[in-house]
Structure formats: C-alpha cells, structure tokens
Amino acid sequence: MFSVSLGDDGALLRPLEPWHAAEFLAHIDRGREHIGRFIGLPDRVGDLESARAFLISYAGRAAADTGRLYGIWLDDRLVGGVLFRTMDVAMGTAEAGCWLEPSAVGKGLVTRAVRAIIDWAVEERGIHRVEWQAASGNTASIAVARRLGMTRDGVLRESYPHRGERHDMEVWSVLAPEWRAARG
C-alpha cells in the first residue's frame, strides 16, 4: 500500500479510501466538536453510510483527477486528514485543506502532510497555484499557511456560512516557482 512517512514519530500519510469508512467515522466521532468548529465535515459524516459516501465521493474525484483525500495515521490510528478539495490540472490550480482530531494537535502533522501533497501536486501534476482557505478565526489553519510560506491574497468578507454564522474567509496561496525556491 502507498504511504509516505511524515517523520521520525512514525506518522504516515496515505490515501483515505471507502474501505476505511468505519475507521474514518470513529476518528470523526473522537474529534467531532474540535473538527467542526470551522469546517462542515463532521456535519456531513454522522454514520457509517455517510462516512462511506464521503469517501466514495473523493474516490470519484481521484478517478476524475479533480481532487484527492489522504489520511494521517499516528501509531496506526487515523488522527486527521489533508486533501485537495478541488484540483484543475488543466488550469494548474488546486485548493488544499485539512482537519485534525484534538489528540494530534501541536505535533506538526498537518504542516508536514500538506507539504507532502503540495510537493506532489507541483512536481508530479504540474500544479502552478495551490490555494488555502481558512476562516479568519481559525488561527491554527492560518498558522499552517504561514509555515508553508504561503502569501495571504485577501479576505472574503462573510463569505462562509457555517452553523448559522457567517465567517470571513482568508485566502492564502503559493505558486510553483515560490514553492520550489523555498524548498530548494
């Protein structure tokens, strides 16, 4: 099976696939409140059927080359994920995102995992611009964008309705030449 080591702590990044539905649901249940503070994933995944449907939707995106979904495992336990929510290879653009359960916070897992998928997108798929969107109140997600060397493009004021409240969304990005220069 494909997996990428995320460092000396044994963390692994690997595809999150439909056959992981029960493990994925258990993971979401462990972090439901934490994960759902800024993203709607826990609202979409409430039972085994919806967990499987979500994973199947990303399997379809991978097959169509329009998105990807990866899990982060630590000590053989699914603790988070990263994804390309959108990916347009012809246009050379992709939007990356993430989530993490509380037990895995503060270990650098998301930064390392997103770095791995951006490397792949830029070097293997020819993506020119990787975008990152985060609610302005999501300081952890914004910190990831900064650690990855992304540039803040702007704020989409009250553009994101979530759980009855409208949030400002910050848009961050990195371009392939910038990514390569920072990595080289």
What is the predicted pLDDT for the residue at 1? 55
Rounded to whole angstroms, the Cα distance separating 38 from 78 reads 20
Select from 127, 112, 133 the least CA-distant residue to 40: 133
Place of tokens 């990866």: 70
Q: How many other CB atoms sit within 10 Å of the CB of residue 12?
A: 20
| CATH number at 9-183 | 3.40.630.30
Outline where the chain has alpha helix (H): 21-35, 41-44, 48-64, 109-123, 139-147, 176-183
For the chain, 184 residues long, give each residue's pLDDT as a single digit of tens. Answer: 589 999 888 999 999 999 999 999 999 999 999 999 999 999 999 999 999 999 999 999 999 999 999 999 999 999 999 999 999 999 999 999 999 999 999 999 999 999 999 999 999 999 999 999 999 999 999 999 999 999 999 999 998 888 889 999 999 999 999 999 998 7
* pLDDT, tens digit (0-9, with 9 covering 90-100), for 38-60: 999 999 999 999 999 999 999 99
Compute φ and ψ for 38, nearest 5 degrees: -130, -10
124 token code pair = 């293997």
Check if the beta carbon of residue 19 is closer than 8 Å to that of residue 57: no
